Amino acid sequence: MAEGLSQAAALLRQASHAVVFTGAGISVESGIPPFRGPGGLWSRVDPSFIEIGRFLADPEGSWRRIKEIFYDFFGPVEAGRGGRARPNAAHFGIAALEAAGRVQAVITQNIDNLHQEAGSREVIEFHGNSRRLLCLECGRREEVRPERLAELPPYCPCGGLLKPDFIFFGEGIPELALKRSYQEASKADLFLIVGSSGEVQPACQIPVLAKSRGAKLVEINLRESNFTPISDVFLQGPATEIVGELVNKLGIK
Catalytic residues: 127
What is the C-alpha separation between 149 and 151, in angstroms, rounded? 5
* 3-state SS assignment for residue 107: strand
Of residues 62 and 225, the one with the C-beta less far from ligand NAD? 225
Cα first-last separation, the chain? 22
What is the C-alpha separation between 62 and 152, in angstroms, rounded? 9
Quick one: which of 4, 17, 36, 142 contacts ligand NAD (CB under 6 A)? 36
The one-letter amino acid at 237:
G
Angle at 172 between CA 167 and CA 178, to 5 degrees: 95
Quick one: which of 67, 91, 115, 127 contacts ligand NAD (CB under 6 A)? 127
Choices 2-10, 22-30, 60-68, 98-106 (CB under 6 A): range interacting with ligand NAD: 22-30
What is the C-alpha separation between 238 and 90, in angstroms, rounded? 9
**Per-residue x/- mask for ligand NAD, residues 184 to 223, rule CB under 6 A?**
-----------xxx-xx--x----------------xxxx
Q: Does 230 bind ligand NAD (CB under 6 A)?
A: no
We find the least distance from the C-beta atom of residue 193 to ligand NAD, in angstroms, to be 10
What is the C-alpha separation between 30 and 26, in angstroms, rounded? 8
Which residue number places its CB atom closest to ligand NAD?
A: 25
Of residues 83 and 156, the one with the C-beta less far from ligand NAD? 83
Q: Does 27 bind ligand NAD (CB under 6 A)?
A: yes
Footprint (CB under 6 A) of ligand NAD, residues 137-166: none
